[in-house]
Structure 1
Amino acid sequence: MGTTQLRERDAEPFSLVRDDLFYRLQRRIGLIPAHGDGIKRRALVYALVAWLPLVIASWLAGTVVESAGIAEPLLGHIGIHARCLIAIPLLVLAEGLAQQMIPLFMREFRRTELIGDGQRERFEKVLVDVIRLRNRAFPWVIIVGLVSTWTAAFFLTPNRDEIEWAGANSRSLAFGAWWFLLVTRPIFSILLLASIWRLVLLGILLFRIARLPLQLVVMHPDRFAGLGFLDRLPVIYSPFILSVSAVMAGAWAHGVFYHDVAVPSLYIQMAVLLIVLVLIGLAPLLVFSPMLVRAKKKALLDYGVLLAKHGRAVDARWIAQREVPDLPMLNAPELGPVADIQALYQSVASMRPVLVNKSILLKIVAPAALPLLLLVATQWPLKSTLTKLLFTLL
């Protein structure tokens, strides 16, 4: 099947999510409507299916809050609540963001003419190849295999600390533990691995685009040679970063509140998690760095030669007072006076070889750090801190 036929067959606009195996399965069972993606519906359904039976089972067992027989109630397992009520909805929300924003980025590559007329066929082939990868069943076989293996391992040798709230030693109260191990955890794991696979697809897509001979504009005021529109790319996977950070911070918070774990003892683990999440956020943008580095090096040499020729001509005419042949560059309006041509060179010199700025870092670091900062804040003496703040303001 040819490239044109594939592009006509696949739904528009381009999507890394729509029509993959998991998406089709959700549509078949009614979670995704015939028209639209059902983002809100799925976020609510998955969250309630994962969380509500746990609460009901715990409530019937009298273990929602602390009681005489339960040292660690369900309410104290912050990681479980973060997984069900924060991470699961965020992972579904990330799909919606990807559906909305990735087609816009692909359109900008064409609209800004970064993809020249001679490269449009190659660009379309990149999209078609990624769609083929998206539609493959093999990645989902691996995901199901991993989730099944993890579920069996946790079910056969469960972590008692995670299910003690369910009364796992009592036959009448074991339902909560069963639901958590066989339903809640797999739902989260499937959505998490699905998000990871789609991030891999996004990385492959951008990597292949970065290998095309893009028509970069080294003087572009965005300082990224015309790729500045990609500064919104981290918004797509910020929900994924926030969900992972929230689940980890929730699990650590349980240890702090119920197992006397000192928050400072977690600083190294927090730092490692933060670094890993930031690197995940930067990785899709770093694929353009080799191209930007080459473009900047070449442009500095080329514009350096232009500036040297222009400078010699100006020096010969106005300093040496020599007769200078009519040079077009001295009268070219796009070059202008000496100050303007120097500004051209400075704009090239200020071009950034890495697609990173404060805005991009904020979109990545903020969701990664926020849950960790909240965990650290639990150790602050809140009353005295607020009192000092009040006296400072007054």
Structure 2
Amino acid sequence: MVGSETLSDFSLVRGGPFQRLERGLRGGEPRRSSLFALVLALGCWGPLVLLAWMQGGDAPRLLLRDLQVHGELLLSLPVLVASGPYIDSRLGAAARQFLRADLVGERGRGALEALARRCTRWCDSAGVELVLLGLVIAFAWLTSPDPSRAWQVSSGGQPSLAGGWYLCVALPLMRFLVLRWLWRGVVWSVFLLRVSRLPLRLAFTHPDQSGGLGFLAVCQASFAPVVFAVAVPVASYSFRVNAAAITEAPLDYVMPQVLYAVLACLAVFAPLACFFRPLVVAKRRGDPWFSAVAAHHSCEFEDRWFQKKPEVPALGAPDFSSLADLGSSFMVARKMKMFPWDQRGLLAVAAAGLAPLVILLMVDRQFLAVVNQLRQSVS
């Protein structure tokens, strides 16, 4: 078991100007991250409601009925901010596990530490966040108010007070947070890709049936809060556009969210595919060795108990227990996965992608109706 000062400071979340601003506002206390996320969400949502009320007319009523806005600002935005410390701790633990479990030998330790420093610098780069901010501002400049959402448009066809706040402040902030998480995911994927090319010591007899890499599936599942945060506006938009199809054509309403959940699972677990080759090499190397050990052990067992007459009684003899343990280990080795995925992690990410859909259907009292119609469609 090896420690590393570099990997103990490994973080893809704590860097960047926005994160330093957040850390300064909450006094550097990680426990206040949720409180800061709530304040930030209310700081975007509160002025929107106030401006709609000042606008008068039907704007307040129409805004309160727009579930997409409330979902984005009161659910997605705080989740994107508050999930940072949790995901950071999971990614850091996974990076240190490569050394803690001796998966990377002495030859690759220096390269792993250099890679960790490089990835940390990438996520701490002010230039990257300025580029993301520029993209968000450019997209906001090109975005026009949606005429179907009357609270965004004034009588002259220009953005209303509430629409201007939403299009120029609240929505760009939401997009910036999503792009920042996307950048962190790319950096983490590059980290995994480079680690997979190091000289790894994968044990094909490891009980996790992934050569000792089973912890990576649990780590990837920690991105479920981000998947949920992005799923909220996707479900809300589908709910707003296809509201009439919920009872008439439920598949037209449900399938976009199901497609999103599938794509989210692929995006989250796809980086683990880079370990396919090291796992194949470990299995090909280990199968003949373990098969030879098993054959030698089985031959000695047969010679002792079938060809000769042992003096010890069969009941309680350690030979039988040894043979059973060897058989169990051999079956574990034979079931070794070529892709370090985990069923529970996959279900967690899929559930995060589908959860907003279930919430909206329950709020609209259409959950059971949609389930029954989907059952009839399938049958």
TM-score normalized by the length of structure 2: 0.82
Corresponding residue to 1:81 among 45, 70, 74: 70
Q: Does 1:341 align with 2:335?
A: no
Name whichever of 104-113 and 312-321 sits farther off: 312-321
1:309 corresponds to which residue?
A: 296
Contact 1:79 1:250 in 2 (8 A): yes
Q: How has the CA–CA distance of structure 1 residues 118 and 381 changed in structure 2, closer, same or farther, with 3 Å as cutoff? A: closer
2:260 corresponds to which residue?
A: 273
Corresponding residue to 1:189 among 175, 185, 193: 175
2:50 corresponds to which residue?
A: 56
- How far does the alpha carbon of each residue in 1:81-117 deviate from its partner, in whole angstroms, 9 at most, with x for none? 1110110011112211123222222332222222333
Q: Does 1:298 align with 2:288?
A: no
- How far does the alpha carbon of each residue in 1:205-227 deviate from its partner, in whole angstroms, 9 at most, with x for none? 22222222222222222222222
- Say which SS state the counterpart of residue 141 (structure 2) adopts: helix
| Counterpart AA for 1:306 | V
Q: Does 1:142 align with 2:131?
A: yes
Q: How many angstroms does 1:120 deviate by?
A: 2.0
Contact 2:145 2:153 in 1 (8 A): no
| Counterpart AA for 1:365 | A
2:238 corresponds to which residue?
A: 252
Contact 1:83 1:188 in 2 (8 A): yes
Corresponding residue to 1:15 among 7, 11, 16: 11
- How far does the alpha carbon of each residue in 1:134-172 deviate from its partner, in whole angstroms, 9 at most, with x for none? 233442233122101210111xx322224x124522699
Q: Does 1:284 align with 2:304?
A: no
1:241 corresponds to which residue?
A: 227
Corresponding residue to 1:351 among 300, 314, 336: 336
Q: How has the CA–CA distance of structure 1 residues 245 and 62 changed in structure 2, closer, same or farther, with 3 Å as cutoff? A: same
Q: Does 1:365 align with 2:371?
A: no
1:112 corresponds to which residue?
A: 101
- Say which SS state the counterpart of residue 205 (structure 2) adopts: coil
- Say which SS state the counterpart of residue 161 (structure 1) adopts: coil
Q: How many angstroms does 1:301 deviate by?
A: 2.3
Q: How has the CA–CA distance of structure 1 residues 129 and 12 changed in structure 2, closer, same or farther, with 3 Å as cutoff? A: same
Q: Gaps (5+ residues) in structure 2?
A: 309-317, 372-379
Q: 2:124 & 2:355 partners in 1: Cα distance? A: 35
Q: How many angstroms does 1:11 deviate by?
A: 10
Name whichever of 171-180 and 130-139 sits farther off: 171-180
2:84 corresponds to which residue?
A: 95
Contact 2:60 2:151 in 1 (8 A): no
Q: Does 1:31 align with 2:28?
A: no
Q: Does 1:124 align with 2:110?
A: no
Q: How has the CA–CA distance of structure 1 residues 129 and 366 changed in structure 2, closer, same or farther, with 3 Å as cutoff? A: same
Name whichever of 298-307 and 263-272 sits farther off: 263-272
TM-score normalized by the length of structure 1: 0.79
Q: How many angstroms does 1:242 deviate by?
A: 0.3
- Say which SS state the counterpart of residue 204 (structure 2) adopts: coil
Q: How many angstroms does 1:270 deviate by?
A: 2.6
- How far does the alpha carbon of each residue in 1:240-261 deviate from its partner, in whole angstroms, 9 at most, with x for none? 1001111110111122447999
Q: How many angstroms does 1:312 deviate by?
A: 4.0
Contact 1:234 1:363 in 2 (8 A): no
| Counterpart AA for 1:147 | V
Contact 1:87 1:244 in 2 (8 A): yes
Report 1:210-221 matches (<5 A).
210-221=196-207
Q: 1:171 & 1:339 partners in 2: Cα distance? A: 78
Q: 2:19 & 2:72 partners in 1: Cα distance? A: 21
- Say which SS state the counterpart of residue 216 (structure 1) adopts: coil
1:391 corresponds to which residue?
A: none
Q: How many angstroms does 1:351 deviate by?
A: 2.0
Q: 2:319 & 2:181 partners in 1: Cα distance? A: 47
Contact 1:224 1:352 in 2 (8 A): yes
Q: How has the CA–CA distance of structure 1 residues 262 and 187 changed in structure 2, closer, same or farther, with 3 Å as cutoff? A: farther
Q: 1:208 & 1:115 partners in 2: Cα distance? A: 12
Q: 2:288 & 2:156 partners in 1: Cα distance? A: 76
Q: 2:319 & 2:98 partners in 1: Cα distance? A: 25
Q: 2:7 & 2:106 partners in 1: Cα distance? A: 24
| Counterpart AA for 2:353 | A
| Counterpart AA for 2:325 | D
